């Protein structure tokens, strides 16, 4: 086995450890359990947050929600009344009992998401006054919880979302827009459940900084953003707005339409929220595995954000300079503005940029989405090494041109550097593991 083979195997083992650390079933089971006739909610440090004795209605959405719901069913036992959760198309799960699993499109919403969200809101509205509404949220929920505000056509909202994603809008800005075009986001779900005995949310975070108001666009949280913020995001990316959306956001900014739930709103102050899993947990596990394999581990000084290629070059430059067995572990969510005809995702784009920097070195860099899906491809990301660029050129491919065209997928497929895991059932943003073991 060559040095590159060993490094690649080690990087994949670190990524596997990262995924295991954020398994939704285990994350939920740590925070939700029965104590006699009561259901107890605990935080990440095992401190009791709340308890409830009575029926429970379960709702939720996201890439990890099916596994989260299965863990909740196991904890609830006979207290489970009914529920509905929404996951991406193709998701299957057993052990959901009376919780209905509905599927919809991600990252661009579809009509199935509208229908499922309508039914979810009806389930919340029908919750008995003595019931707990248990909300399960993971990354991807913003696109799956779809309830356009009054006067907004679903198709127009969908096309605006598609344009913002293609323009590389960061998650915070994208969610500010979604909240102000929605009846469920920005505390809308909490308002719908205001009559219930209690509302708890269990959250698996895919957001840098783990801001509860940003994760899944904060359906049960107060929203610090405004209609003016939403307008600014759209204008910054120079996206054309349909007349109904321009009118709605303009009326909101002028105070003619009620804002989303703000701090102090009674519907959100009664919500008890627990962050059950996050990117930092995945990175910690990856670092533990790297140490076990003999590497000195350094955490990247900041969460990954901004342009994927810039991040890839910076990480690769740092690891290529290592003089001993070194590991750099990083995580977050970068962006890439896809050009027409290009195929890839932010992790593959980051990986290709890194490969150009690593050419000829004794280092590897793995970049992958913890959900197993990177852009509109069948890959989770890529694992590149010092020979990636040479392999590409031998096949008549131009790495610099591929990077400029945001066409990383085809090149990395040809060089054998793609990582394909299939959907993992979790989602805590992206993980990058860079390893070096100089001779």
pLDDT of res. 175? 85
Residue pair 303/275 in contact (Cβ under 8 Å)? The answer is no
DSSP code for 380 = S
CATH 3.60.110.10 fits 3-16+280-436, yes or no: no
Strand order in the sheet with 326-332: 296-299, 326-332, 430-436, 363-369, 381-385, 418-419
Region of residue 295 (phi > 0: left; psi between -120 and 50: alpha; otherwise: beta): beta
End-to-end CA gap in the chain:
14
Q: Taking the model in full, what pTM does it have?
A: 0.90
Residue pair 266/187 in contact (Cβ under 8 Å)? The answer is no
pLDDT tens string 18-59: 999 999 999 999 999 999 999 999 998 999 999 999 999 999
Residue 172 has pLDDT above 90, yes or no: no
Considering Cα of 196, then 23, then 206, then 98, what sign does the dihedral take? Answer: negative
Please report, rounded to a whole number, the percentage of residues in the chain having pLDDT higher than 90.
89
Average pLDDT in the 396-410 region?
98
Torsion from C-alpha of 165, 171, 172, 174, nearest 10 degrees: 20
pLDDT of res. 184? 96
What are the start-end ranges of the E strands in 17-170?
A: 32-35, 38-42, 48-52, 56-61, 80-88, 99-104, 132-138
Q: Is 208 exposed, middle or buried (0-12, 13-18, 19+ CB in 10 A)?
A: buried
Residue pair 198/272 in contact (Cβ under 8 Å)? The answer is yes
- Alpha-carbon distances of 279 from 127, 306, 387, rounded to whole Å: 33, 17, 29
pLDDT of res. 188? 96
Nearest to 372 by CA among 19, 21, 60: 19
pLDDT tens string 250-308: 999 999 999 999 999 999 999 999 999 999 999 999 999 999 999 999 999 999 999 99
> Given 1.10.8.620, 3.40.50.10180, 3.30.565.10, 3.40.50.300, which CATH number is that of 23-147+182-225+260-277?
3.40.50.10180
Region of residue 237 (phi > 0: left; psi between -120 and 50: alpha; otherwise: beta): alpha
Residue 379 has pLDDT above 90, yes or no: yes
pLDDT of res. 345? 96
* Domain span(s) for CATH 3.40.1480.10 in the chain: 3-16+280-436
pLDDT of res. 307? 95
pLDDT of res. 356? 98
Output the average pLDDT for the chain: 95
Residue 157 has pLDDT above 80, yes or no: yes
> 169 pLDDT band (50/70/90 cuts)?
confident
**H/E run at residue 276:** strand 271-277
**Of the candidate ranges 134-143, 167-176, 281-290, 347-356, the one whose mean pLDDT is the lowest:** 167-176
pLDDT tens string 197-255: 999 999 999 988 899 998 999 999 999 999 999 999 999 999 999 999 999 999 999 99
Region of residue 84 (phi > 0: left; psi between -120 and 50: alpha; otherwise: beta): beta
Nearest to 274 by CA among 199, 217, 207: 199
d(CA 269, CA 291): 42
Residue 2 has pLDDT above 90, yes or no: no
* Domain span(s) for CATH 3.40.50.10180 in the chain: 23-147+182-225+260-277
Average pLDDT in the 4-16 region?
97
């Amino acid at each position: 086995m060559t040095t590159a083979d060993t490094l690649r195997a080690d990087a994949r083992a670190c990524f596997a450890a990262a995924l295991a650390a954020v398994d939704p079933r285990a994350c939920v089971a740590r925070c939700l359990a029965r104590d006699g006739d009561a259901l107890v909610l605990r935080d990440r440090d095992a401190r009791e947050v709340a308890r409830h004795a009575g029926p429970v209605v379960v709702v939720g959405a996201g890439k990890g929600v099916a596994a989260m719901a299965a863990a909740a069913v196991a904890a609830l036992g006979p207290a489970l009344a009914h529920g509905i959760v929404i996951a991406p198309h193709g998701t299957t799960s057993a052990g959901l009992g009376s919780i209905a699993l509905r599927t919809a499109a991600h990252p661009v919403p579809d009509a199935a998401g509208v229908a499922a969200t309508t039914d979810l809101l009806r389930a919340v509205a029908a919750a008995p006054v003595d019931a707990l509404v248990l909300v399960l949220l993971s990354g991807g929920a913003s696109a799956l919880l779809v309830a356009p505000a009054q006067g907004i056509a679903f198709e127009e909202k969908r096309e605006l979302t598609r344009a913002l994603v293609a323009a590389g809008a960061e998650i915070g800005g994208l969610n500010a827009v979604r909240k102000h075009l929605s009846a469920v986001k920005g505390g809308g779900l909490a308002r719908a459940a205001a009559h219930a005995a209690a509302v708890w949310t269990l959250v698996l975070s895919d957001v840098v900084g783990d801001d509860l108001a940003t994760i899944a666009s904060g359906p049960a949280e107060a929203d610090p953003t405004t209609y003016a913020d939403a307008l600014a995001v759209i204008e910054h990316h120079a996206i054309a707005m349909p007349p109904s959306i321009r009118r709605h956001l303009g009326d909101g900014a002028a105070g003619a339409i009620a804002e989303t739930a703000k701090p102090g709103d009674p519907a959100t102050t009664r919500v008890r929220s627990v962050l059950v899993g996050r990117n930092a947990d995945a990175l910690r596990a990856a670092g533990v595995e790297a140490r076990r394999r003999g590497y000195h581990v350094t955490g990247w000084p900041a969460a990954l954000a901004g342009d994927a290629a810039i991040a890839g070059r910076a990480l690769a430059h740092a690891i290529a300079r290592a003089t001993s067995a070194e590991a750099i572990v990083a995580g977050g969510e970068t962006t890439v503005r896809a050009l027409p005809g290009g195929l890839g995702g932010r992790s593959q784009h980051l990986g290709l940029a890194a490969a150009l920097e690593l050419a000829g070195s004794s280092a590897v860099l793995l970049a992958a989405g913890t959900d197993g899906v990177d852009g509109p491809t069948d890959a989770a990301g890529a694992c590149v090494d010092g020979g990636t660029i040479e392999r590409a050129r031998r096949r008549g491919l131009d790495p610099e041109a591929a990077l400029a065209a945001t066409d990383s997928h085809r090149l990395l497929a040809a060089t054998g550097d793609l990582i394909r895991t299939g959907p993992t059932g979790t989602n805590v943003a992206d993980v990058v593991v860079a390893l070096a073991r100089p001779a």
